[in-house]
Amino acid sequence: MKNAIYAQSGGVTAVINATAAGVIQTAKQYPNQINKIFAAKNGILGVLNNQLFDCANFTSTDLNKLYFTPGGAFGSCRYKLKDDAEFEKIVAIFKEHNIGYFFYNGGGDSQDTSLKISERSAQLGWPVQCIGIPKTIDNDLPFTDNCPGYGSVAKYVAISTLEAALDVASMAESSTKVFVLEVMGRHTGWIAAAAGLISTTPLAAPHIILFPERPFEEQKFIAKVAETVATCGFCVIVTSEGVKHANGQFLNAQSSTDAFGHAQLGGVAAYLSNLVQTKLGLKNHYAIADYLQRSARHIASQVDVEQACALGKHAVEIAIAGKQGVMPIIVRTSNTPYQWHITDVNLNTVANIEKHMPDDYIRADGFGISEACRQYILPLIQGEAYPVYHNGLPDYLHTLGLNFSGKVPC
């Protein structure tokens, strides 16, 4: 009987631990197929460093708290496996702990890692059933209707935009005229698009949404801001961090890159704020949602939480059934009411592929979302799955004290 490893990878979400809870709880329900379930510290680095946590030490109370806790309970990483030596070391660790199942919970780069481990472990004589579990707030994995983490970040961005817009509207007569909110989204505008859910009339905020799928046109942007302030008295703008000029260059990219060669983004809100000040002389403020948007478990979407957990459960079940080298996906069968089920696709069809917003999801003027986009996103933010509160604060699981030791009995 083989053991299993679960690991988290890439930028974490408000619901990735719900997936972890689904994996761990389901694995414990199959003691005749999975002897032990380990969690690796900081993703694939925990496997390389032989830092594993025996999840048998988790009580039912711990698992319940894990379900409601944001962040990556076991630590995550952005790490690209470099060479044969690292794959050989991973397989050696698998052999040492009798690992037959590997569940890697992450985005596009992580699915590529899962695929390579699946292929290399077989080539090196220790085949492991690798299941890539989807996760990314960017919502850019192909085939799946949506990605766990997106529904919650969409809910947070929509609510934050609504509340900020009410604040700005109340002060616009004598103070701030323009407010800019910068959200995540390197190459896709799914997160920024969620702000459009609050716009119920042509003049309602957000008045401008900027998408990476549309090149930034400075004159058109400035004219729209000026027109909006003249008409509405104020202007609320939501921008993706990955908005680009017509030449393909990011509006504001730093010189540093991550392990996968992705440019470090940020600063678009400041860029736009300065532009509004320089060109129009309007008082403005900006905010960067940054980690707040992806860690806001207190206002997570119930649909998102349920799907995240269900994907973890399904991953274990298909592994036990003999599948490997696949990723579970969500299939939407109805918008109203929202209905869905889970199936799976081969990892070699999803690794390193980004799903962009369809053209017909973006309004004709390029500054908002279409009705089709609204109907797509709206079901994903439904319901609230509030954590338990204690002394006015969420009672989250704190995992810093976990004993990640490779010296575990197998």
In 3D space, the residue among 19, 54, 25 whose CA is nearest the CA of residue 39 turns out to be 54
Catalytic, 395? Answer: no
- Angle 310-137-290 from CA coordinates, rounded to 5°: 140
Q: How far is CA 33 from the centre of its chain?
A: 31
Q: Return the axis-axis angle of helices 302-320 and 150-171, rounded to nearest 10°.
A: 170
> Which residue, 85, 95, 76, is CA-closest to 6?
76
- 361-212-231 Cα angle (round to 5): 70
The DSSP line for 249-307 is -BSSEEEEE-TT-PEEE--HHHHHHHHHHHHH---EEEEE-HHHHHH-GGG-BHHHHHH
Written as six digits, the tokens of 184 are: 């995540």
Could you say which of 54, 109, 112, 138 is catalytic? 138
Residue 146 CA: distances (Å) to CA of 72, 252, 275, 290, 291: 20, 28, 34, 21, 20
Enumerate residues 6+ apart whose C-beta is below 8 A from 13. Answer: 70, 135, 136, 137, 148, 149, 152, 153, 294, 308
Q: Are 130 and 179 in contact (CB under 8 A)?
A: no
Q: Across-strand partners of 39?
A: 6, 53
- Alpha-helix residue ranges (DSSP H) falling in 49-149: 60-68, 84-96, 108-123
Pairing of strands 208-210, 34-40: unpaired
Q: Are 256 and 267 in contact (CB under 8 A)?
A: no
User: Checking DSSP bridges between strand 284-288 and strand 263-265, what pairing results, if any?
Assistant: unpaired
Q: What are phi and psi of 239, to 5 degrees?
A: -125, 140
Sign, CA dihedral 253-257-258-261, equals positive
94 three-state secondary structure: helix
Nearest Cα to 9, choosing from 49, 47, 50, 43? Answer: 43
Which residues are annotated as catalytic? 138
